[in-house]
Amino acid sequence: MMGFSRAVREELARILPERRCCQMAELAGLAFIDGTLTVQGYELIVGQAAAARMAYRLLKQLYQPYLEIKVRHRVRFSKHHVYTIRIPNQPLLPRIVGSLRGVHQRYSKERWGKPCCRKAFLRGVYICRGSLTNPRKNYHLEIVTDSFQQAAIIQGIMETFDLAPGVVQRKKHVTLYMKDGEQISKLLNLLGGHSAVLQLENVRVVKGVRNQINRLVNCETANMDKTLEAAFRQVENIKLIMASGRFASLSPELKEMAGLRLQYPYASLKELGELLDPPLSKSGVNHRFRKLDVIAEEIRKEHAE
């Protein structure tokens, strides 16, 4: 079964921008980190089949150059592959390299241009270097770059869309990351990953409902704990008053309240108030218990002396 991160990448790789400027921007995004000019020509070396397919498709769409494609295992016995798309030395090569560098230089100078092209560029970058944890586990999106300079350019483009990724260095790489479900959903929507957005939003709704239920249960449990803790204290105070011989001197109202508490040790203040004739409000019941608490504390002080 295809993982969530790969499914998102595959969905994005099926998008072919209609406008030539956006096609060029997406190709520049694919080549932004993994593209290199060599003696043999220009190479794009990627670890994702979707990125390799998209790069090949865009190059053919834009320039119709002669291309060489190689596939090799990342390491021995590994199931993962490395894809190399090479544009050998040919008359079209300077034009292709110049166009790619032009996009990269423009963004490095914060000349952002059209929103549609910025989205296409980010999509290319994500297809090559992005990953996303299954939202059922947690919200975590990453784009791995090779330098702070590369990360700053991508971060700058994201900020033009009111996105705020974090940046952290991990060994030899610099990673942009998002841990907010709403921000991740917004980015995926900008990139065109609408199926991924639907799945993410469904998970967010389910998690939201579950969290709400948990909060209500925890709140109810906390209230129940407080009620029982108060009830146990009240029972202890009443027994102390009885043992001291001062129960007989209590007012009829306090005697009645004490008797009900001993008879119904787990009842709430509201329930005790409803048992009285006439019924008493919760605050009224609480007021009577405070009087009993004061008497019990006086007895404790007397014994301490």
Residue 203: per-residue pLDDT: 72
pTM for this one? 0.67
Residue 1: per-residue pLDDT: 47
What range defines the domain where residue 292 resides? Answer: 223-304
**CATH code, domain with 110:** 3.10.28.10
Compare 254 and 200 and report the one with higher pLDDT: 254
Mean pLDDT, residues 207-233 taken together: 75
What is the pLDDT of the chain when averaged over all its residues?
86
Residue 260: per-residue pLDDT: 85
Is 208 a residue whose pLDDT tops 70?
Answer: no
Is 98 part of a structural domain of the chain? yes
Residue 259: per-residue pLDDT: 86
Q: What is the pLDDT of residues 89-140, one digit of tens each?
A: 999 999 999 999 999 999 999 998 899 999 999 999 999 999 888 877 888 8
Compare 48 and 148 and report the one with higher pLDDT: 148
Q: Are residues 188 and 85 in the same domain?
A: yes
Mean pLDDT, residues 200-205 taken together: 73
Q: Are residues 162 and 24 in the same domain?
A: yes
Of 126, 165, 139, the closest CA to residue 48 belongs to 126
> Which residues, 6+ apart, have CB-to-CB distance to 55 below 8 Å?
27, 30, 31, 44, 46, 85
Is 8 part of a structural domain of the chain? yes
Is 211 part of a structural domain of the chain? no
Beta bridge partners of 131: 142
Instruction: Give the whole-angstrom CA distance, residue 241 versus residue 272.
Output: 20
Q: Are residues 32 and 78 in the same domain?
A: yes
Q: Are residues 250 and 124 in the same domain?
A: no
Is 275 part of a structural domain of the chain? yes
Q: Are residues 66 and 183 in the same domain?
A: yes
Instruction: Give the whole-angstrom CA distance, residue 68 versus residue 179.
Output: 39
Is 212 a residue whose pLDDT tops 80?
Answer: no
Q: Are residues 107 and 36 in the same domain?
A: yes
Is 212 part of a structural domain of the chain? no
